[in-house]
Chain A
Amino acid sequence: MSDAAVLAVTDLTVTIGTRRGPARAVAGVDWSVRAGETLALVGESGSGKSMSVLAATGLAPRAARVTGQVRLLGTDFTASSPDRRRRMRGRHVGFVFQDPMTSLNPVLTVGRQVAEAGEEHLGLTRRAARARAVELLDLVGIPSAAQRVDAYPHQFSGGMRQRVVIAMALACEPDLLIADEPTTALDVTTQAQIVELVADLQRRLGTAVVWITHDLGVVAGIADTVAVMYAGRILEQGPVDAVFGQPAHPYTTALLAARPDPAAGGGDLVTIAGAPPSPLALPAGCAFWPRCPVRGDARCEHELPPLRPVSTRHHVRTFYPQHADGRAGHE
């Protein structure tokens, strides 16, 4: 199991019908994640990072048309019936979203909600499921879990609610955990607690994790591999050390330089001019071309650069890969 991908998507494309025409949210994305490994999907809002994961797990909105292939634990997930997909998702995939209150039912006790998955997908009795809920709440660091199991979500702080959601996600001992901006709404000291918790659980349970975030600092701490997305496509992809250590795409380089660095002094920050394109009107060539500080030539404007290797497992979609020292170079 350790070598095979838990989840692999190939040529995944998501087009959403809107009143103003089709919006291409995701365009030909390939990635995979193995047991015990964390894949980080990074990008700004509208980059398609969340939509690609929702589509891969069969949770894309009704108005979306999804093409491409998804394999979950070796099974062709896209070809499975909706009912089989629902059961596979419930049994093998756990989800943690940004706002814990979107995952929690305010009128049910947290224990009931954590126990539910065990009853539904593992066939536990109500009593066994409750005992399991206490165990899980304890596992995610809820103090006096045996008492708090009967409390309601509003009686918990934001960080504690997110722990409850993680307990729900882990209830069926999933092979895959999808974490969509799980710490974005939390304070930084709480974020550190949650990141530590997920990393620890992953070490103990061997779960594969897909972590969606815009925070490059979080990525550096948790990811084994990273895919940088922009306007629905992957612009750069590879092991986290390669992508952060030798970023080859001008967009990755600019993103890494855009954060204030207290060690670097107080000069003006590196910015990327403008804003990402609308998914309703994507440029013909490289989608980043209008904002690109390198702006190679007319080819960038009219021709889509392919995703090509710069080293083993490190791929980049640009005609002008950057050198390690940050200078632009020819392919």
Chain B
Amino acid sequence: MSEHERPDRQPGDSPPAGEVVAELDELCVWFPTPAGVVRAVDGVSLRVRRGETLGLVGESGSGKSTTGLALLRLVDPTSGTVRVAGQEVTGWSRRRLRALRRRVAMVFQDPQASLDPRLTVGSSIAEPLIVHRLTGGTAARRRRVEELLDMVGLRRDLADRHPHELSGGQRQRVGIARALAGEPDLIVLDEPIASLDLSVQAQIMNLLRGLQRDLRLTYVFIAHDLAAVEHMSDRMAVMYLGRIVESGTPAQVWRQPAHPYTAALLSAIPVADPQVERQRRRIILSGDIPSPVDPPTGCRFRTRCPQARPECAATDPVLAEVAAGHRAACLFAGDAVRAMRAS
């Protein structure tokens, strides 16, 4: 299981690093639908080490959320393996998975939808404590709920309120408190800031980073917002149509994107500076993401790639190293991006 055996699969390594908390190996998650088999995740390998944030970025249909769900075994892998805290959990029964759900917690995009509207904030936060039998009596549970409210920056008296009495940012803090309740090894954050106002997004990102520093938490941060992923992550992976197409440190991906899709994505992000915007030459991709029922042969991005060449239809490129810890799945990695930016 050393790096040498599979040099082209892991999204970056940043030694010396902590132990591996979670690992996906050649994960495929396919869903049968009337229109055909949707290959939501189609061969994803990644590793998350203790204390780090792995960012997953991609557009809708890229498979980033399904990858996150697979880490909690909330979806069944079609093939490949899921390992959490050293144990392979791929084939675990529902009963055994209950223990896994304590080890891996999740924060969802819309706290309005993920919190039970009939439960008070305190009861919502206490729920995982009860389910996983983590605290003794009512008094101990109450103290733990108050401690969790303090940790996420909510006033203790909010414990008696209902979700509709809270602002969006406060509700997301409740979602984070629930995730922290079981002291998980890994927290999967799926678009945790996407439905919040700008000023509140910054509050939540600062909170998550502060908690990580204090508690040595491990995150998988999933978002479509590249700048947020860059800001939050130690390592990041860019996904397209069920695959990781590029991975590395945020600095590598942001400053020297090696995959044409990453370069196009970066080029599409508007910058809050009118002078920069006026001089920018965008790489505008044509068309839409192809159907995951029938992905293109060879490179999946070739149908929209401004630099696609005949070879791209024949070969499905592997995620290969372009620099230390920086990988891209493109036959012409680097060169293609330079050509795109020059044209």
Q: Which chain A residues lie closer than 8 Å to B197 at the CB level?
A: 44-45, 214, 276
Q: Which chain B residues lie closer than 8 Å to A191 at the CB level?
A: 268, 270
CA of A275 to CA of B167, assembled, Å:
8
Q: Which chain B residues lie closer than 8 Å to A219 at the CB level?
A: 272
Q: Which chain B residues lie closer than 8 Å to A273 at the CB level?
A: 203
**8 Å CB contact of B288 from A190, A261, A275:** A190
Interface string of B189-205 (1 = CB under 8 A from A): 00000000111111101
**8 Å CB contact of A188 from B206, B226, B275:** B226
Do A241 and B274 form a contact, CB below 8 Å, given A44-B197, A187-B59, A187-B60?
Answer: yes
Size of B's binding interface in residues, CB under 8 A: 44
A159 touches B288 (CB 8 A): yes
Size of A's binding interface in residues, CB under 8 A: 46
Does A216 belong to the interface (CB within 8 Å)?
Answer: yes
Does A160 belong to the interface (CB within 8 Å)?
Answer: yes
- Counting residue pairs across A and B whose Cβ atoms lie within 8 Å, the total is 117
Does A331 belong to the interface (CB within 8 Å)?
Answer: no
A244 touches B272 (CB 8 A): yes
Interface residues of A in 182-235 (CB under 8 A from B): 187-193, 195-196, 214-221, 223
Q: Which chain B residues lie closer than 8 Å to A45 at the CB level?
A: 197
B270 touches A272 (CB 8 A): no
**8 Å CB contact of A271 from B202, B265, B269:** B202
Question: Whose C-beta in chain A lies nearest to the C-beta of B268?
Answer: A192
Do A192 and B230 form a contact, CB below 8 Å, given A220-B270, A269-B206?
Answer: no
B272 touches A44 (CB 8 A): no
CA of A220 to CA of B273, assembled, Å:
5
**Segment at the interface with A among B18-26, B39-47, B90-98, B277-285:** B277-285
Does A254 belong to the interface (CB within 8 Å)?
Answer: yes
B265 touches A270 (CB 8 A): no
Chain A residues within 8 Å of B, Cβ to Cβ? 44-45, 143, 157-160, 187-193, 195-196, 214-221, 223, 240-241, 244-245, 254-256, 258-262, 266, 268-273, 275-276
Chain B residues within 8 Å of A, Cβ to Cβ? 59-60, 167, 169-170, 197-203, 205-206, 209-210, 224, 226-228, 230-231, 250, 254, 264-265, 267-277, 280, 282, 284-285, 287-289
A-B contact pairs, 12 of them (CB 8 A): A44-B198, A188-B224, A189-B284, A190-B59, A192-B268, A220-B277, A258-B198, A258-B201, A260-B230, A268-B209, A271-B203, A272-B203
